[in-house]
Structure 1
Amino acid sequence: MAIIGYISRTEHFSAAHRLHSPHLSDAENLETFGKCNHPGGHGHNYVLEIILRGPIDEKNGMVANIADLKRWIKDSVLDYVDHRNLDRDIAFFATRPSTTENLAAFVWMRLCQVMPEGMLNKVIVWETPKNKVIFTGEGVTAKDIEECTV
Protein backbone atom coordinates (compact mmCIF):
# COMPACT_ATOMS: atom_id res chain seq x y z
CA MET A 1 0.00 0.00 0.00
CA ALA A 2 1.31 3.44 -0.96
CA ILE A 3 2.04 6.15 1.56
CA ILE A 4 -0.48 8.99 1.21
CA GLY A 5 0.59 12.62 1.35
CA TYR A 6 -0.95 16.07 1.06
CA ILE A 7 0.48 19.12 -0.66
CA SER A 8 -0.84 22.65 -0.65
CA ARG A 9 -0.39 25.78 -2.75
CA THR A 10 -1.56 29.24 -1.70
CA GLU A 11 -2.25 32.02 -4.20
CA HIS A 12 -3.76 35.51 -4.00
CA PHE A 13 -6.07 37.37 -6.34
CA SER A 14 -8.22 40.47 -6.35
CA ALA A 15 -11.74 40.55 -7.72
CA ALA A 16 -14.92 42.58 -7.54
CA HIS A 17 -18.47 41.32 -7.21
CA ARG A 18 -21.95 42.19 -6.03
CA LEU A 19 -23.86 39.81 -3.82
CA HIS A 20 -27.12 39.57 -5.71
CA SER A 21 -29.24 36.54 -6.54
CA PRO A 22 -31.31 36.42 -9.72
CA HIS A 23 -33.71 34.20 -7.74
CA LEU A 24 -34.61 36.94 -5.24
CA SER A 25 -36.41 40.26 -5.58
CA ASP A 26 -34.44 43.48 -5.16
CA ALA A 27 -35.91 43.87 -1.66
CA GLU A 28 -35.00 40.28 -0.73
CA ASN A 29 -31.47 40.76 -2.06
CA LEU A 30 -31.02 43.91 0.00
CA GLU A 31 -32.37 42.19 3.10
CA THR A 32 -30.20 39.11 2.55
CA PHE A 33 -26.93 40.72 1.50
CA GLY A 34 -27.11 44.21 3.05
CA LYS A 35 -24.33 46.58 2.02
CA CYS A 36 -22.73 43.84 -0.09
CA ASN A 37 -25.71 44.18 -2.46
CA HIS A 38 -24.71 47.74 -3.42
CA PRO A 39 -25.30 48.16 -7.18
CA GLY A 40 -21.71 49.32 -7.69
CA GLY A 41 -20.34 46.17 -6.10
CA HIS A 42 -17.20 45.90 -3.99
CA GLY A 43 -13.91 44.03 -4.06
CA HIS A 44 -11.78 41.62 -2.09
CA ASN A 45 -8.18 40.51 -1.94
CA TYR A 46 -8.88 36.80 -1.85
CA VAL A 47 -6.53 34.09 -0.62
CA LEU A 48 -6.86 30.75 -2.35
CA GLU A 49 -5.44 27.49 -1.01
CA ILE A 50 -5.51 24.29 -3.02
CA ILE A 51 -4.83 21.01 -1.23
CA LEU A 52 -4.04 17.81 -3.11
CA ARG A 53 -4.07 14.30 -1.71
CA GLY A 54 -2.49 11.22 -3.19
CA PRO A 55 0.10 8.51 -3.04
CA ILE A 56 3.70 9.63 -2.70
CA ASP A 57 5.41 8.39 -5.85
CA GLU A 58 8.19 5.96 -4.97
CA LYS A 59 10.45 7.21 -7.77
CA ASN A 60 10.16 10.99 -7.46
CA GLY A 61 8.92 11.31 -3.87
CA MET A 62 6.04 13.62 -4.79
CA VAL A 63 2.25 13.59 -4.62
CA ALA A 64 2.32 16.00 -7.56
CA ASN A 65 4.87 18.34 -9.03
CA ILE A 66 4.38 21.83 -7.55
CA ALA A 67 5.23 23.28 -10.99
CA ASP A 68 2.21 21.43 -12.40
CA LEU A 69 -0.01 22.61 -9.55
CA LYS A 70 1.08 26.23 -10.10
CA ARG A 71 0.26 25.93 -13.82
CA TRP A 72 -3.15 24.29 -13.19
CA ILE A 73 -4.15 27.06 -10.78
CA LYS A 74 -2.91 29.87 -13.03
CA ASP A 75 -4.33 28.54 -16.30
CA SER A 76 -7.69 27.35 -14.96
CA VAL A 77 -8.47 29.90 -12.26
CA LEU A 78 -6.23 32.92 -11.77
CA ASP A 79 -6.17 33.92 -15.44
CA TYR A 80 -9.97 34.23 -15.24
CA VAL A 81 -10.64 35.71 -11.79
CA ASP A 82 -7.72 38.00 -10.97
CA HIS A 83 -8.60 41.69 -11.35
CA ARG A 84 -12.00 40.82 -12.77
CA ASN A 85 -15.62 41.47 -11.91
CA LEU A 86 -16.89 37.98 -11.13
CA ASP A 87 -20.49 38.82 -11.99
CA ARG A 88 -19.76 40.48 -15.32
CA ASP A 89 -16.77 38.49 -16.54
CA ILE A 90 -17.61 34.89 -15.63
CA ALA A 91 -20.70 33.24 -17.12
CA PHE A 92 -20.88 30.79 -14.19
CA PHE A 93 -22.07 33.65 -11.96
CA ALA A 94 -24.80 34.84 -14.32
CA THR A 95 -27.22 32.33 -12.78
CA ARG A 96 -25.92 32.16 -9.19
CA PRO A 97 -24.76 34.69 -6.64
CA SER A 98 -21.00 35.26 -6.47
CA THR A 99 -20.73 34.20 -2.83
CA THR A 100 -17.47 32.81 -1.54
CA GLU A 101 -19.19 29.40 -1.38
CA ASN A 102 -20.00 29.52 -5.09
CA LEU A 103 -16.53 30.89 -5.87
CA ALA A 104 -14.93 27.93 -4.07
CA ALA A 105 -17.18 25.53 -6.01
CA PHE A 106 -16.23 27.30 -9.27
CA VAL A 107 -12.52 26.91 -8.46
CA TRP A 108 -13.03 23.22 -7.66
CA MET A 109 -14.88 22.57 -10.92
CA ARG A 110 -12.28 24.41 -12.98
CA LEU A 111 -9.38 22.54 -11.39
CA CYS A 112 -10.87 19.06 -11.50
CA GLN A 113 -11.10 19.42 -15.30
CA VAL A 114 -7.31 19.69 -15.66
CA MET A 115 -5.93 17.66 -12.77
CA PRO A 116 -5.58 13.88 -12.41
CA GLU A 117 -8.86 12.44 -11.17
CA GLY A 118 -9.21 12.14 -7.43
CA MET A 119 -6.17 14.26 -6.57
CA LEU A 120 -7.98 17.48 -5.64
CA ASN A 121 -8.78 17.29 -1.92
CA LYS A 122 -9.85 20.78 -0.82
CA VAL A 123 -10.31 24.29 -2.07
CA ILE A 124 -10.16 26.97 0.58
CA VAL A 125 -11.06 30.57 -0.24
CA TRP A 126 -10.54 33.37 2.26
CA GLU A 127 -12.73 36.36 1.44
CA THR A 128 -11.35 38.26 4.43
CA PRO A 129 -8.87 37.31 7.15
CA LYS A 130 -11.88 36.27 9.27
CA ASN A 131 -14.10 34.57 6.66
CA LYS A 132 -13.21 31.48 4.65
CA VAL A 133 -14.99 28.71 2.79
CA ILE A 134 -13.78 25.13 2.49
CA PHE A 135 -15.07 23.11 -0.45
CA THR A 136 -14.41 19.42 -1.05
CA GLY A 137 -16.49 18.77 -4.15
CA GLU A 138 -19.43 17.20 -2.37
CA GLY A 139 -22.50 17.14 -4.56
CA VAL A 140 -20.73 18.25 -7.76
CA THR A 141 -22.07 16.47 -10.82
CA ALA A 142 -20.75 16.09 -14.35
CA LYS A 143 -23.48 18.54 -15.43
CA ASP A 144 -22.19 21.12 -12.92
CA ILE A 145 -18.68 20.80 -14.32
CA GLU A 146 -20.00 21.12 -17.86
CA GLU A 147 -21.74 24.38 -16.88
CA CYS A 148 -18.63 25.75 -15.17
CA THR A 149 -17.81 28.29 -17.83
CA VAL A 150 -15.96 31.56 -17.85
Structure 2
Amino acid sequence: MEDNPKKISITCSLNIHAAHKLYRDDWSQQKNRDVFGHCCDLHGHQYRLEVTIKGGIDPETGMLMNGYALENLVKQNILTQLDHKFLNDHPFFKDRLTTVEWISVWVFDEIKKKLPSPCVLQKVKLWETPDLYAEYEN
Protein backbone atom coordinates (compact mmCIF):
# COMPACT_ATOMS: atom_id res chain seq x y z
CA MET A 1 0.00 0.00 0.00
CA GLU A 2 1.28 3.47 -0.88
CA ASP A 3 2.19 6.04 1.74
CA ASN A 4 -0.60 8.43 2.67
CA PRO A 5 -0.29 11.95 1.33
CA LYS A 6 0.27 14.45 4.13
CA LYS A 7 -2.99 16.23 3.37
CA ILE A 8 -5.91 15.56 1.09
CA SER A 9 -9.19 17.40 0.78
CA ILE A 10 -12.74 16.46 -0.13
CA THR A 11 -15.64 18.75 -0.93
CA CYS A 12 -19.35 18.31 -0.36
CA SER A 13 -21.69 20.44 -2.53
CA LEU A 14 -25.35 21.10 -1.79
CA ASN A 15 -28.03 23.58 -2.83
CA ILE A 16 -29.79 25.93 -0.43
CA HIS A 17 -32.97 27.68 -1.50
CA ALA A 18 -33.62 30.73 0.64
CA ALA A 19 -35.02 34.24 0.62
CA HIS A 20 -33.62 37.42 2.12
CA LYS A 21 -33.29 41.12 1.67
CA LEU A 22 -30.39 43.45 2.26
CA TYR A 23 -31.88 46.26 4.27
CA ARG A 24 -30.77 48.41 7.18
CA ASP A 25 -33.58 49.74 9.35
CA ASP A 26 -31.42 52.69 10.41
CA TRP A 27 -31.20 53.87 6.77
CA SER A 28 -33.86 55.45 4.62
CA GLN A 29 -35.53 53.44 1.86
CA GLN A 30 -33.62 55.54 -0.66
CA LYS A 31 -30.22 54.94 0.95
CA ASN A 32 -30.94 51.19 1.09
CA ARG A 33 -31.85 51.25 -2.60
CA ASP A 34 -28.77 53.34 -3.46
CA VAL A 35 -26.43 50.94 -1.64
CA PHE A 36 -28.08 47.55 -2.19
CA GLY A 37 -30.05 48.16 -5.39
CA HIS A 38 -32.86 45.68 -6.03
CA CYS A 39 -31.41 43.45 -3.28
CA CYS A 40 -33.10 45.69 -0.69
CA ASP A 41 -36.37 44.07 -1.77
CA LEU A 42 -37.39 40.56 -0.73
CA HIS A 43 -35.90 38.05 -3.18
CA GLY A 44 -34.61 34.50 -3.28
CA HIS A 45 -31.56 32.56 -4.36
CA GLN A 46 -30.58 29.04 -5.15
CA TYR A 47 -27.29 29.11 -3.29
CA ARG A 48 -24.66 26.49 -4.05
CA LEU A 49 -22.68 25.56 -0.94
CA GLU A 50 -19.29 23.84 -1.08
CA VAL A 51 -17.72 22.62 2.17
CA THR A 52 -14.11 21.46 1.87
CA ILE A 53 -12.35 19.50 4.60
CA LYS A 54 -8.73 18.35 4.74
CA GLY A 55 -6.67 15.80 6.58
CA GLY A 56 -4.97 12.46 6.14
CA ILE A 57 -6.37 9.29 4.61
CA ASP A 58 -7.44 6.75 7.22
CA PRO A 59 -5.43 3.57 6.53
CA GLU A 60 -8.38 1.34 7.45
CA THR A 61 -11.14 3.04 5.45
CA GLY A 62 -9.09 4.67 2.69
CA MET A 63 -11.05 7.87 3.31
CA LEU A 64 -10.51 11.20 4.97
CA MET A 65 -14.18 11.09 6.02
CA ASN A 66 -17.10 9.14 4.66
CA GLY A 67 -18.69 11.39 2.03
CA TYR A 68 -22.20 10.50 3.16
CA ALA A 69 -21.29 11.43 6.73
CA LEU A 70 -20.00 14.82 5.58
CA GLU A 71 -23.12 15.41 3.49
CA ASN A 72 -25.36 14.48 6.44
CA LEU A 73 -23.40 16.77 8.77
CA VAL A 74 -23.98 19.69 6.38
CA LYS A 75 -27.65 18.83 5.89
CA GLN A 76 -28.36 18.47 9.61
CA ASN A 77 -26.49 21.58 10.73
CA ILE A 78 -26.88 23.99 7.82
CA LEU A 79 -29.73 23.04 5.52
CA THR A 80 -32.17 22.50 8.38
CA GLN A 81 -31.57 26.10 9.45
CA LEU A 82 -31.34 27.84 6.06
CA ASP A 83 -33.06 25.84 3.32
CA HIS A 84 -36.44 27.28 2.30
CA LYS A 85 -36.18 29.91 5.03
CA PHE A 86 -36.18 33.71 5.25
CA LEU A 87 -32.56 34.31 6.24
CA ASN A 88 -33.26 37.65 7.91
CA ASP A 89 -35.20 35.76 10.62
CA HIS A 90 -32.18 33.65 11.62
CA PRO A 91 -30.71 34.68 15.02
CA PHE A 92 -27.18 35.08 13.59
CA PHE A 93 -28.45 37.86 11.33
CA LYS A 94 -30.22 39.81 14.05
CA ASP A 95 -27.39 42.38 13.96
CA ARG A 96 -25.86 41.49 10.59
CA LEU A 97 -26.87 41.77 6.98
CA THR A 98 -27.62 38.54 5.14
CA THR A 99 -24.79 39.00 2.67
CA VAL A 100 -23.12 36.04 1.03
CA GLU A 101 -20.03 36.98 3.05
CA TRP A 102 -21.75 36.74 6.44
CA ILE A 103 -23.65 33.61 5.50
CA SER A 104 -20.32 31.98 4.58
CA VAL A 105 -18.80 32.93 7.93
CA TRP A 106 -21.78 31.48 9.80
CA VAL A 107 -21.68 28.22 7.81
CA PHE A 108 -17.94 27.87 8.43
CA ASP A 109 -18.31 28.39 12.18
CA GLU A 110 -21.22 25.93 12.43
CA ILE A 111 -19.46 23.18 10.48
CA LYS A 112 -16.21 23.70 12.37
CA LYS A 113 -18.02 23.07 15.68
CA LYS A 114 -19.45 19.75 14.47
CA LEU A 115 -16.64 18.31 12.35
CA PRO A 116 -15.07 15.21 13.91
CA SER A 117 -11.35 15.14 14.43
CA PRO A 118 -8.90 14.62 12.84
CA CYS A 119 -10.71 16.35 9.95
CA VAL A 120 -10.04 20.05 9.53
CA LEU A 121 -12.43 22.47 7.85
CA GLN A 122 -10.44 24.04 5.03
CA LYS A 123 -12.98 26.36 3.42
CA VAL A 124 -16.57 27.17 2.68
CA LYS A 125 -17.54 28.51 -0.71
CA LEU A 126 -21.06 29.87 -1.12
CA TRP A 127 -22.35 30.73 -4.57
CA GLU A 128 -25.12 33.33 -4.44
CA THR A 129 -25.46 33.38 -8.23
CA PRO A 130 -23.61 31.54 -11.00
CA ASP A 131 -21.30 34.56 -11.20
CA LEU A 132 -20.79 35.51 -7.53
CA TYR A 133 -19.50 33.60 -4.53
CA ALA A 134 -17.82 34.20 -1.20
CA GLU A 135 -15.07 31.95 0.09
CA TYR A 136 -14.10 31.73 3.75
CA GLU A 137 -10.96 29.76 4.62
CA ASN A 138 -9.26 28.35 7.67
On whether the aligned pair clears a TM of 0.5, the verdict is yes
> By how many angstroms is 1:132 displaced?
0.8
1:106-131 deviations in Å (ceiling 9; x for gaps): 11111111103561101000000000
Q: What's the TM-score, normalizing by structure 1? A: 0.82
> By how many angstroms is 1:21 displaced?
3.4
> By how many angstroms is 1:2 displaced?
5.0
Q: Which residue, 24, 27, 37 being the options, matches 1:25?
A: 27
> Which residue in 2 is equivalent to 1:72?
73
> By how many angstroms is 1:14 displaced?
0.4
**Contact 1:124-1:135 at 8 Å conserved across structures:** yes
Q: Which moved more, 1:113-122 or 1:72-81?
A: 113-122
Q: How many residues align?
A: 133
Amino acid at match of 1:62: M
Matches within 5 A, 1:1-150: 2-3=4-5, 4-21=7-24, 24-26=26-28, 27-38=30-41, 41-88=42-89, 90-116=90-116, 119-137=120-138
Asked which structure has the greater CA Rg, the reply is 2
Q: What's the TM-score, normalizing by structure 2? A: 0.89
CA RMSD in angstroms comes to 1.7
Q: Distance in 2 between matches of 1:66 and 1:7?
A: 8
Q: Could you tell me the percent identity over the aligned residues? A: 31
Amino acid at match of 1:127: E
**Contact 1:21-1:96 at 8 Å conserved across structures:** no
SS of 1:92 mapped into structure 2: helix
Structure 2 gap segments, 5+ residues each: none
